[in-house]
Amino acid sequence: MSLAKGRARFFAGKALRYGITLVIILSINFAIPRAMPGDPMINLLGEDAVRVDRQMLDELRAQYGLDRPIQDQYIEYMLGAGRLDFGYSIHKNLKVTELIYDRFFWTLVLIFPSIAIGGLLALVLGAIAGFRQGSKVDRLLTGVSIFMYSCPSFLFAMVIVTIFSFHLGWFPLGNISSGRTQGFAYLLDIGYHLFLPVAILSAFEAAYIFLIVRNSITQIMGEYFIFVAKAKGLSARVIELRHVMRNVLPQFISIMALNFGFMVSGALIIEIVFSLNGMGTLIYDSVMSRDYPVLQGAFVFLTIFVLAANFLADVLYGITDPRIGDSMNTGKMI
Amino acid sequence: MELSLPGKLIKRLSDTGIKSLDQNPLRSLGIIILTVLVLAAVFAPYLAPHDPKQTGIPHQSPSSEHLLGTNDLGQDVFSELIYGTRVSLTIGFLSGIISIVIGVTVGIFAGYFRGWAEELLMGTTDVFLLIPSLPLMIILAAYLNPSMWNIIVVVGLLGWCSTARLVHSRVLQVREMQFIESTRALGYSDIYIIIRHVLVNTKDIIYAKFSLAVASAMLSEASLSFLGLGDPLNISWGEMIHFAFSRGGFANDLWWWYLPPGLMICVTLLAFIMLTMEGRKDSKILELI
């Protein structure tokens, strides 16, 4: 089989898998409020539905089609999901989609820099530890990252806020901006407010990925082609950068992608501690008021986001690892 | 030679690695910490100086009467912490057991039988791995009544995917071994081979993964409880932090209220991770995370 054809088949297979995953996720979201104990009307509309007047309730019941057979409801729901329509939040008196659009942006602003910084940090520190395995630096870094792994993110964030904001007063206590500035000063203000949350989230990302990078370097260092490279008399620097790091890359990308869901979860928690106006605080408020439509919409949005990121990573993986699509070698992916 | 019963027991114990403990200080430390925690959980009523539900003067700083001060209702934080050990450990252990049983079953069947069973089981696992678990747990926990048992089920049912993948890849190696082939040639049934041979040869990673599964279940539980989805009748460590956070303990810098439960979570998780450390060859086991 030619390489290009194999590669096209690889991407098509991936696309199919993500499509199926998306349908399954939407179906789970459809099934949960209808299968859970309690009145599905309340489950779909939130606890506040009890307090709404009759007429609106009847209108909404008709809109959700709860009086119609389940397969009709399912088709209706899937069409609505296609238009990114997730219903109406009675509690906030807004359409769920509008509510989410507003908040989602700030969550992205928090997540993307953290992933970039955390990933780079993990790559550099992982290389330092991996090439000097068993040294003091290695043991220190591994110890720190295991400690981070076992520390709940909210606790870590709370301690950092207490030290740096309460006592030292170096950083603001929360919120996205102080709200009086414009233009460039506004951006600087946001950067100042987001410094601590981004730093904490990056640290968690770095701690997690560090261990993987370090282990995969150790593993690659034991392979025959490294032995051959050493025998050829290549310098340690060339072997490390050209041969080892190049082979760490595909695994690095795939673990970054798998970690995306973890990062989203982390961002939600950190937002709550810093009271940033993102998806985390939205979910927190919705949990408190049992505002189910918002919870469902948030779940679907975040999941689609994670799926998209993973799909992108799979495409990147296919580009960085030329063995993909080469049917002779696909069985031996690192 | 058939060993006598006590002899068998000692052999059993040394098989599980008790003997090698003196060469493995980290694992010994983990076992010591966990033993202390389990004892604290079991004997909570005797250890706690106060009834954790009894109210008194709120917001007291730590003193000899209240070792870790009191919360907003005047309840003794130290006693609450000891009782919280029960809740957190119970949730962690039971969720860990659920997730390990599902994960091992899926992994072994997929790895041993291959074919369409593998496609179906590992495909499902991949789908579940892609779904961010915290938002899904939040939704499920929000619909169910806030009780400890519901949290155990929700966390356990969503935590098995990484175990399944790990066990699957190990079983793929084990099933190609010569002795499995000979056993099959002797005509033993698949179930017999799985239980007597495949399971036995994957047990080391199952033990290690169980320890980590309990750790990550406790972390998930802590996050859910922090979000206010915990059981109001059985206060766990995560839930103590939730109350400290939502009722002003954090904003007023009452560190004795939220820091001790947080540190207990850290120490317990570290102990579980330490259990999986294998002396000098720690790099291999860290992949399990």
Query: Which pLDDT score is estimated for A49?
Result: 67
CA A125 to each of CA A130, A143, A195, A210, A254: distance values in angstroms, whole numbers, following the listed order = 8, 13, 21, 7, 18
Contact A298 B135 (CB under 8 A): yes
Does residue A164 sit at the B interface (CB-CB below 8 Å)? no
| Position B283 confidence tier, pLDDT thresholds 50, 70, 90 | very low
The pLDDT of residue A332: 40
Above 70 in pLDDT, residue B5? no
H, E, C per residue of B131-160: CCHHHHHHHHHHHCCCCHHHHHHHHHHHCC
Q: How confident is the model at residue B96 (pLDDT cuts 50, 70, 90)?
A: very high
What is the pTM assigned to this prediction?
0.84
| B143 with A150: Cβ contact below 8 A | no
pLDDT digits (tens, 9 = 90+) for A315-324: 888 777 777 6
- Of A187, A211, A49, A67, the residue nearest A126 (C-alpha): A211
Taking residues B207-214, what's their average pLDDT?
90
Taking the Cβ of residue A310 and every Cβ of chain B, the question of whether any pair is shorter than 8 Å is answered with yes
Q: Of B277, B271, B211, nearest to B31 (Cα)?
A: B271
Q: How many angstroms away from the CA of B34 is the closest CA of chain A?
A: 15
Residue A206 has pLDDT above 60, yes or no: yes
A149 contact residues in B (CB cutoff 8 A): 269, 273, 289
Contacts of B140 in chain A (CB under 8 A): 32
Measured between CA atoms, the residue of chain A closest to residue B135 is A299
Residue that has been written with the tokens 């989602």 in this structure: A104
Q: Taking residues B229-258, report their average pLDDT.
A: 85
Mean pLDDT, chain B, whole residue set: 83
The whole-number pLDDT of residue B269 equals 92
- For chain B, how many residues are written? 289
> What domains are defined for chain A?
3-82 (no CATH), 100-329 (1.10.3720.10)
Share of chain A above pLDDT 90, in %: 7
Closest Cα in chain A, distance from residue B9 (Å): 34
A1 confidence band (pLDDT: 50, 70, 90): very low
Averaged pLDDT for residues A84-88: 73
Tell me the C-alpha distance between A290 and A294, whole Å.
Answer: 9
- Confidence (pLDDT) at B35: 92
Position B85 scores a pLDDT of 92
From residue A47, give the alpha-carbon distance in Å to each of A91, A155, A321.
8, 30, 50
Whether the per-residue pLDDT at B104 is higher than 70: the answer is yes
Q: Which residues 7-36 of A have a C-beta within 8 angstroms of B?
A: 17, 20-21, 24-25, 28, 32-33, 36
Helix or strand (DSSP H, E) at A88:
strand A88-89
How many CA atoms does the CB half-sphere of B192 hold within 13 Å? 7
Q: Quote the CA–CA distance of A88 and B140 in Å, as a whole number.
A: 20
Residue B1 has pLDDT above 50, yes or no: no
Whether the pLDDT of residue A50 is over 60: the answer is yes
Residue type at A76 in one-letter notation:
E
Q: How far is A88 from chain B (nearest CA, A)?
A: 17
Task: Encode pLDDT of A225-257 as tens digits.
Answer: 888 888 888 888 888 878 888 888 888 888 888
Q: Which amino acid belongs to residue A122?
A: A
- Residue position matching structure tokens 């992205």: A108
Please give the pLDDT value at position A89.
Answer: 75
pLDDT of residue A334: 36
Q: What is the pLDDT of residue B97?
A: 95
Instruction: List, for residues A176-190, the tens digit of each pLDDT value.
Output: 666 666 777 777 777
Residue B107: in which H helix or E strand, if any? helix B77-113
Nearest CA distance, A184 vs chain B (angstrom): 31
pLDDT, mean of residues B65-90 = 84
- pLDDT given for residue A65 in this prediction: 66
Query: Between these two residues, A191 and B85, which has the higher pLDDT value?
Result: B85
In the prediction, which pLDDT does B20 show? 58
pLDDT at A329: 46
pLDDT reported for residue A200: 92
pLDDT at A168 over 70: yes
Q: Are A324 and B144 in contact (CB under 8 A)?
A: no
As a whole number of angstroms, the distance between CA A313 and CA A9 comes to 17
Q: Give the range among A230-234, B236-240, B279-283 with minimum mean pLDDT.
A: B279-283
* pLDDT for B22: 61
CB pairs under 8 A between A and B: 145
Contacts of B245 in chain A (CB under 8 A): 154, 158, 273
Q: Which residues of B touch A284 (CB under 8 A)?
A: 227-228
8 A C-beta contact, residue A145 and residue A215: no
Chain A nearest C-alpha distance from B10 (Å):
33
Question: According to the model, what pLDDT value does residue B289 have?
Answer: 53
Tell which CATH architecture fits domain B85-265. Answer: Orthogonal Bundle (1.10)
User: CA A162: distance to chain centroid?
Assistant: 26
Q: What is the rounded CA–CA span in Å between residue A93 and residue B251?
A: 29
Least confident of A190-194, A269-273, B41-45: A190-194
Most confident of A104-113, A187-196, A222-231: A104-113
Terminal C-alpha separation, chain A: 21
Paired with A94 in beta bridges are: A89
The pLDDT score that the predictor gives to residue A287 is: 84
pLDDT at A331: 42
Task: Quote the pLDDT of residue B129.
Answer: 85
pLDDT-based confidence at residue A330 (cuts at 50, 70, 90): very low
pLDDT given at position B274: 86
Tell me what pLDDT residue A244 has.
85
Whether B228 sits inside 8 A of A284 (CB atoms) is yes
Return the number of other C-beta atoms located less than 10 Å from residue A23's C-beta. 12
Tell if the CB–CB gap between A154 and B215 is shorter than 8 Å. Answer: no
Decide: B94 and B152 in contact? Cβ < 8 Å.
yes
- Residue pair B62/B69 in contact by the 8 Å Cβ criterion: yes
Tell me which chain A residue has its CA closest to the CA of residue B127: A21
d(Cα B140, Cα B55) in Å, to the nearest integer? Answer: 33
In which band, very low, low, confident or very high, does the pLDDT at B280 lie, cut at 50, 70 and 90?
A: low
Lowest mean pLDDT, pick from A46-50, B25-29, B133-137: A46-50
Lookup result for tokens 């279940």: B217
User: CA-to-CA distance for A91 and A292, rounded, in angstroms?
Assistant: 10
* Residue A244 in tokens: 């080892």
Beta-bridged to residue A89, according to DSSP, are: A94
